[in-house]
A and B are shown apart, each in its own frame.
Chain A
Amino acid sequence: MTVRTRILILLSAVAALAAVGLASVLHASARADRRDRPQAGGPQVTSGTVSLTGHGRMVFRNMAWGPHRDELTSVPAAGPAGPRTASGVKCLRFYAASGTGVCLQAVHGPVSDTYRALLLDARLRTRHHYDVPGIPSRARVSPTGHFAAWTAFVGGDSYAGTNFSTRTAIVDTRTGVLIPTLEAFRIVRDGHPYRAADANFWGVTFAGDDRTFYATLATGGHTYLVRGDLRARTVTTLHANVECPSLSPDGTRVAYKKRVAGLSKDAPWRLYVLDLRTMHETPLAEPRSVDDQAVWKDPRTLVYALPGDYGADLYEIPANGSGHPHRISPAAVSPAYLP
């Protein structure tokens, strides 16, 4: 084959490959345009005022296609599938309590995205913001609104590696003082001080005393429910195989996802509720794998997200193991109930 032939083959291949590549980019960007238009049969979304003190309402990230996609939206808690009021504030993850909100959002840079956490007041105005070192995954605010926590997946630790770790931060919303990583806390495992380079924390949930929190600790291939103490800066393991705990409003039970042996590796989790006094585990009636930190709508009901047509849908289920799951709101994620 002469050099000329080879160059000709290469050039025609480049033309074909470029056409395929360009077509895929154009296809994906056309889809982007479609997503900016509301889909038929989807929830009705209109601009309006969203307040974090709006009693009896649920605030969440709206994932329905249209101009208000990804915005914080509110609906009456009693009618979560009804018309939505959109705030104009875009978040990937969100939570709120007592008039304080935490919004984890992407900042689109010229060559890559970065992430930040916004602390919002009751009128969704930013009071503080913090860098988040990776892709946001969990967010919580303490019942008093005095503390907020978030978890991010940190990649890029290794060149072309596939290993991920998590980093969980807690901030005092009154002073703005940040604990950048829970890994700075002392760990007590099974009654003994424990240190590990591979310690990862995620999924903080706060008690009402502004001192106690619960979270997941992963180390040595196991996950634990830990109880944390913000003043003593310690975490103590309580129970094994607990991820993404969510403390009930009365502080007596923790809802969580448990890795159940024998299930597929793609969908290994089932929802459970742990009674903190008896350490008795109750499986919930959701037969699917749930990869979310559930939210207590009230002392008897849990709400969580499952993958849906437009990203995620919200479901609710009784917290005592009875009943059936049912979908309460399509194209929605990260709900917070304003009592």
Chain B
Amino acid sequence: MYVADSRASARASADGAVRPEAGRRRAAIAPTVLALGTVSLVTDVSSEMVTAVLPLYLVTGLGLSPLGFGLLDGVYNGFSALVRLAGGHLADRGGGRHKWVAGLGYGVSALCKPLLLVAHSLTPIGLVLAADRTGKGLRTAPRDALISLSSTPEGRGRAFGVHRAMDTAGALFGPLVAFLILRATVDGYDAVFTVSFCVAVFGVLVLVLFVPGGRRQGGDGGGGERPTLRAAVGLLRRRDLSRITVCALLLGLATVSDSFVYLLLQRRLGVPDRWFALLPLGTAAAFLLLAVPLGRLADRVGRWAVFLGGHAALLLAYALLLTSWHGTPLPYVVLALHGGFYAATDGVLMAAASEGVPATLRSSGLAVVQTGQALARFACSLLFGAAWTVWGDRAALAGAVVALAVCAAFSLTLRPKGTVPA
């Protein structure tokens, strides 16, 4: 499965083969996708364990003020985007290095956990977290390329949906495990970091043992087949990919960061303080539940339709935050729409982008789209923060609604012609 998918299938999907053949039994999820899903689930348990206890560790364990941390955040974001492009390109070079580049990324993040045991001040801890994010940046594009390459073109939405659901399940489990450990001990942060390390090593092992290494058809002997940086940059000249990238960029520019959504929910609706930390869990739960059904829907009605539908859900969530309706169901509805937005866009975008990229450059192509989207969202956070400062939260949100509506309308006309319209 892994090697069979090449330009031919991209052409086939351009002919409208996205729709599964009537009467044919739906192909099972590829074992590679399940293995990668398991790796992501396990790795997310590991990393979210640390994320969940880190503020507590800094303040009550080390007696530090964690405020200084924010300064490093901007650096991480830009750096992680560049690492992602590098990871994508490295994985494509030499053909089929996806597994090993992804493995390197998972390995780097795993090694960061024991380092937390010895880092006792803000700067070293900041550096360890930066290394952790480097690992994450390195592995994301090759991993998504592996998912894309090991699933059939008509089942890609579902494959990404399954992967994202497993990934999110891990993110939900992580904090639970961490707090169970803290409950069983007193100040057992060292135990949390050690267990997190063991779990991360387990994830790397699953990757090494159960994800096929894969070798590109014809190996390295394909003459001009060995992807160069020039070829990777040249991807942007491909109409479908450039359109997807432009749309992802535009929509990313109008996607307000999660923290603003939670803050708006809390300020506008008076969500009690003790529930504040639970808001991201609401989004994650909706993401988990909807990732597979929306992935399947994307395979059936077209990825672009579902991708734009996801942004419509986000638009609705923003609009609800703007209204003066203060009903009890509002936080639930907004979080469900917010999670639905992720379910309809995160994996679906990768499935859509896969169609326009040849297999030899799949990892670079996906990295380009992801990086564009990540940088656009980062820019949006800065712009939204500035707008909030100048005009206040309501006006800033109204601006985001208008921007999102305009970008969505533009994306509707610009959508790649390769996909089946709704």
Contacts and interface: CB of A to CB of B under 8 A. Distances in A.
B389 A197 contact: yes
A25 B191 contact: yes
B154 interface: no
B202 A160 contact: no
Given A13-B202, A31-B186, A135-B55, A198 B273 contact: no
B276 A163 contact: no
A225 to B, nearest CB: 16
Interface in B170-200: 171, 175-176, 179-188, 190-191, 194-195, 198-199
Q: Is the interface on chain B under 10, 10 to 19, 20 to 34, or 35 or more residues? A: 35 or more
A162 B182 CA distance: 20
Interface string A169-196: 0000000000010000000000000011
B129 interface: yes
B202 A14 contact: yes
Contacts of B67: 153, 164-166, 200, 218
Interface of A is mostly: mixed
A161 B381 CA distance: 13
A281 interface: no
Contact of B60 (A32, A92, A108, A196): A92
Contact of B183 (A31, A108, A132, A162): A108
A28 B273 contact: no
Nearest to B76: A162
B59 interface: yes
A41 B418 CA distance: 77
B100 interface: no
Nearest to A220: B389
Interface stretch (B205-213, B230-238, B319-327): B205-213
Contact of B121 (A32, A108, A196, A267): A267
Contact of B209 (A9, A159, A197): A9
A160 B259 CA distance: 11
Interface string B63-96: 1111111111100100000000000000000000
B121 A10 contact: no
A159 B280 contact: yes
A153 B258 CA distance: 18
Contacts of A198: 385, 389
B276 A156 contact: yes
26 contacts: A10-B206, A13-B201, A13-B205, A21-B195, A25-B195, A27-B190, A29-B188, A31-B185, A31-B186, A111-B175, A112-B179, A133-B276, A137-B59, A154-B276, A156-B280, A157-B263, A160-B47, A164-B66, A164-B67, A165-B67, A165-B70, A180-B273, A266-B122, A267-B121, A307-B63, A312-B63
